[in-house]
């Protein structure tokens, strides 16, 4: 390959015009991409553009995808070390190109070393301001919101990073349709009260108020992941909560013993297959408490709880908890929305919603948000 001698390095700390997506600490260099959907966006001239990044992981390799002028351009696995990735090459130098690079893989609670750091951009052109979108949307969820199953064949059942993706995710589809900037806070297998396996440590609310409480370890702490998140720094017009699927699974799993404390946790079913009322009430309280937390940190956002892409088991419990929340607070800026269930025609890998299922859900959610945001 012929080397372009006109490429100039632009360390991120010296670059005026760019936008970071996803929760982050402003002015942090190098800039970490902590979440799925975290990324960088630039408007650039020139014939060629590269990005210098640093990658580290122990078990789960991160994936990224790129868009050029809002068209999907590439998707790839990253290997450890410092590396340069070409974002475009051989293009008309004068034209302004909108370029986005996003992290595909969720924040990895199971790999304390998994991270992507952005160091610099290299170009033979110059950079222009990046405009704001019409809306801001935050999506909170589990493996569905992490895009698990959106890549791979239906017979693929391995739990692997390459099967997860924002690029085929309902969150991106909705955001594109509404001209919205989005942020994701999701973790596969986690719930409102507990994880799918009754692990009470794996609940989203206990991590939501940290910058990236989904990860741990010294290196993530150095990046500020465990610090309180500044909710005033980015105020979403709407917050979409897609949780409850793993809480429903917990009712069908054995009891879980927390290794550190010996605590035994179990969501129980009665002999007739119905939910144990005390445990169901405990789940409802978790929904109520999380709504209180989300509202406390996002005073003006419309909150919509969506549910149903993998069965409807806890629909009544969620809506009961939401009605209770409204009665207690008088807050009517919240709503519940059913999403279409995944079928044999729309299922993806690992028995999760595939791209077609995400597209069906995105259509329903887009139509709803259009009505409330306007």
pLDDT tens-digit map of 252-290: 999 999 999 999 999 999 999 999 999 999 999 999 999
Domain that holds residue 241: 135-373
- Express each pLDDT in 108-131 by its tens digit: 998 999 999 999 999 999 999 999
Please give the model's pTM, rounded to 2 decimal places.
Answer: 0.97
Residues near 349 by Cβ (< 8 Å), separated by ≥ 6? Answer: 149, 151, 152, 153, 154, 155, 156, 157, 163
Domain assignment present for residue 3? The answer is no
* DSSP code at position 309: B
Judge if 85 and 222 occupy the same domain.
Answer: no
pLDDT exceeds cutoff 80 at 84? yes
Count the domains in the chain.
2
Domain assignment present for residue 159? The answer is yes
Judge if 160 and 255 occupy the same domain.
Answer: yes
Mean pLDDT of 55-80: 97
Judge if 52 and 94 occupy the same domain.
Answer: yes
Backbone angles phi, psi at 313, to 5 degrees: -55, -40
What the block records as the tokens of 41 is 């966006």
- Express each pLDDT in 191-241 by its tens digit: 999 999 999 999 999 999 999 999 999 999 999 999 999 999 999 999 999
DSSP assignment of 325-372 equals: HHHHH---SEEEEE-PPP-TTTB-GGGSB-HHHHHHHHHHHHHHHHHH
93 close to 124: Cβ distance less than 8 angstroms: yes
Judge if 160 and 196 occupy the same domain.
Answer: yes
Domain assignment present for residue 2? The answer is no
Residues pairing with 84 in the sheet: 52
Helix (H, G, I), strand (E, B) or coil at 221: helix
pLDDT above 70 covers a percentage of the chain that reads 99
Confidence bin at 2 (pLDDT 50/70/90): low
Domain assignment present for residue 90? The answer is yes
**Average pLDDT score, the chain:** 97
pLDDT at 4: 82
Judge if 116 and 155 occupy the same domain.
Answer: no
pLDDT exceeds cutoff 80 at 1? no
- Express each pLDDT in 4-19 by its tens digit: 888 999 999 999 999 9
Confidence bin at 243 (pLDDT 50/70/90): very high
Quick one: which H or E segment has residue 256? strand 256-257
pLDDT at 6: 87
Domain assignment present for residue 261? The answer is yes
- Express each pLDDT in 318-348 by its tens digit: 999 999 999 999 999 999 999 999 999 999 9
Mean pLDDT of 354-374: 97
Domain assignment present for residue 1? The answer is no
SS3 content of the chain, % helix, strand, coil (to 5): 25, 30, 45
pLDDT exceeds cutoff 70 at 56? yes
Judge if 19 and 142 occupy the same domain.
Answer: no
Task: Provide the 10 A C-beta neighbour count for residue 219.
Answer: 15
Q: Can you give the CATH number for the domain in which 35 is found?
A: 2.60.120.260
Residues in the chain: 374
pLDDT at 3: 64
CA dihedral 215, 221, 224, 227 (to 10 degrees): 80
pLDDT at 176: 98
pLDDT at 374: 84
Q: Which of 128, 159, 180 is the last residue of a domain?
A: 128
Helix (H, G, I), strand (E, B) or coil at 194: coil
Judge if 212 and 196 occupy the same domain.
Answer: yes
Residues pairing with 123 in the sheet: 8, 49
- 351, HSE (Cβ side, Cα atoms, 13 Å): 3
Judge if 237 and 154 occupy the same domain.
Answer: yes
CA terminus-to-terminus distance, the chain: 50
* DSSP code at position 126: -
């Amino acid at each position: 390959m012929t080397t372009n001698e006109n490429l100039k390095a632009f360390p991120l700390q010296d670059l005026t015009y760019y936008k970071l997506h996803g929760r982050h600490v402003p002015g942090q260099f190098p800039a970490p991409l902590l979440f799925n959907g975290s990324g960088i966006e630039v408007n650039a001239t020139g014939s060629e553009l590269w990005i210098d990044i640093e990658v580290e992981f122990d078990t789960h390799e991160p994936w990224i995808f790129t868009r050029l002028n809002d068209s999907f351009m590439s998707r790839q696995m990253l290997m450890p070390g410092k590396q340069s990735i070409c974002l475009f090459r051989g293009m008309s130098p004068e034209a302004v190109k909108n370029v986005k690079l996003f992290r595909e893989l969720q924040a990895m609670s199971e790999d304390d070393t998994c991270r992507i750091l952005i160091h610099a951009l290299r170009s033979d052109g110059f950079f222009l301001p990046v405009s704001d979108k019409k809306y801001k949307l935050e999506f909170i969820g589990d493996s569905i919101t992490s895009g698990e199953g959106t890549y791979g064949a239906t017979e693929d059942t391995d739990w692997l990073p390459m099967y997860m993706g924002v690029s085929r995710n309902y969150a991106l589809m909705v955001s594109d349709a509404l001209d919205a900037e989005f942020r994701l806070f999701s973790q596969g297998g986690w719930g409102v009260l507990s994880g799918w396996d009754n692990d009470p440590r794996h609940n989203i609310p206990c991590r939501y108020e940290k910058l990236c409480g989904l990860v741990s370890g010294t290196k993530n702490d150095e990046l500020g992941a465990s610090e309180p998140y500044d909710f005033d720094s980015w105020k979403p017009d709407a917050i979409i909560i897609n949780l409850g699927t793993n809480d429903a699974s917990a009712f069908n799993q054995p009891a879980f013993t927390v290794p550190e404390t010996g605590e035994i946790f179990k969501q129980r079913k009665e002999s007739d297959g119905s939910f144990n009322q005390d445990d169901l009430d405990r789940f409802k309280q978790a929904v109520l408490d999380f709504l209180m937390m989300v509202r406390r940190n996002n005073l003006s956002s419309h909150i919509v709880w969506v549910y149903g892409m993998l069965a409807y088991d806890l629909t009544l419990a969620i809506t009961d908890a939401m009605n209770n929340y409204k009665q207690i607070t008088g807050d009517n800026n919240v709503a519940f929305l059913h999403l279409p269930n995944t079928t044999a025609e729309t299922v993806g890998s690992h028995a999760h919603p595939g791209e077609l299922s995400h597209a069906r859900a995105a259509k329903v959610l887009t139509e709803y948000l259009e009505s409330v945001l306007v």
